[in-house]
Structure 1
Amino acid sequence: MSNVSCISNIVRLNRLAEPYFLNVRQYRLVTSNYAAFWKSRKVGTSYCHVQNFEGCWEKYMIFGESYSASKNVMVRDMTVIEDFLNEDEERSLHEEVEPYMRRLRYEFDHWDDAIHGYRETERLHWNTQNASILQRVRDVAFPPGTPQLSLVHVLDLAKEGVIKPHIDSVRFCGNTIAGLSLLSDSVMRLIHEKNREQVVDILLKRRSLYIMRNTARYEFTHEILGNAHSKFGDQIIPRGRRISVICRNEPDTTTETK
């Protein structure tokens, strides 16, 4: 066979094989992008990146008409990350806490009258998948090296339950509270402790993560609205049973005890 014939056959084979190699390249591109997406999701957004989440605050934050304080400060100190969990992760967390919570009765007398219709516990040990999820929360919510409480607070709020306006005592946690919302959407309302005209409503969608720190943590009361008042702007937000899984940093011993 002449060199010309060999070259001709090679060209013909390359043309026949070209669609196959094109599909292979497209497959590799798609799987590469998919893997990169899930890798970034599992690692989680870093604490530094959360500081730049301010551009999407209008999706989850509504300021009252009389709000006159610095909106920039509130946007900085109250962050919500939608779809922080996927459905499987939400199910995994729920399935781990449910057997214990199911044995408890809903309480309607809280020690400081802050919560009605609730069950709660604190957990130190989690299965491997859920420990990884909680580590993602910690990586997002707290600067590297921040001393954190080992116990994770689990609060189960009944469909008819409410969390009344309150500021968490500085005896029990530091300047940052990070909570996952399971099972139901809800609306958190922040009201300035000394000027009740300063009101901010926060939409906490199911499977979202909220991070409340500094000004939002210390200067504003927070509450979870009951079904009768559960609205975000003009939108009614039906609220069912809600479980929040909350990570906190250690109390600041230099802060005056409340």
Structure 2
Amino acid sequence: MNPADTFRALHHDRPPGDPLVLPGPWDAVSARVFAEAGFPALSTPSAGIAASLGYADGETPAGEMFAAVARIVRAVDVPVSADLENGYGLAPRELVERLLETGAVGCNLEDSDAGVLLDPHRHADRIAAVRAAAGDRLFVNARVDTFAHGDGDPERAVERAALYVAAGADCVYPIGAPADVLPILRAQVPGPLNAFARLDGESPSPCELGALGATRVTFGPWLQRRAAAHLGELAARLGQG
């Protein structure tokens, strides 16, 4: 079984309420912390990596993003999937080759650009081209930005998700979907469903999201931002005696 198939298998035959929880490392240190905590795989957040490199979200040059992903992959012995935003304008074959060079086993690809939704049929064609270039060597998580940058209509999200799954996506990620919409998406979207979680005491927990239909749970840049806030609290205490 190749590494991508190992990662792919983690998404299947999961009982309700037991989603695959994938912390998002932003550097080698955070990756080791998550791996040593026993998580079977990791999924990098583009915004978290951007912050660690001194960039605003969406402004990291492709070369620096691939280099950061490679450092994370080298630091751990578990599969790592990478958030590649909307692919940096790279042709599908080049995108696949550069990602495979990092050692990553999968990627997120979003269907918006600068906050504007892309044509879903053209994006599905791009996913199909990525799948053709990658074969079974990469797990493709297709982000659906209907709730983040569209009108939030669940049916539009379902339509986009269905196109992407038909094009070869292994999983769909309706980022920002309200918790009460997850059962609707679960009932109509074939294959694994990725949900976004915050550990803020108010939002649903990963297990609760799993019970609502999520196959896997990721955190975007939330963990990096939480760590940065904690570091700020420690910095404020320095030199206080």
TM over 0.5: no
- Between Structure 1 and Structure 2, whose CA radius of gyration is higher? 1
Normalization by structure 1: what TM-score? Answer: 0.30
**Structure whose residues are more often helix by fraction:** 2
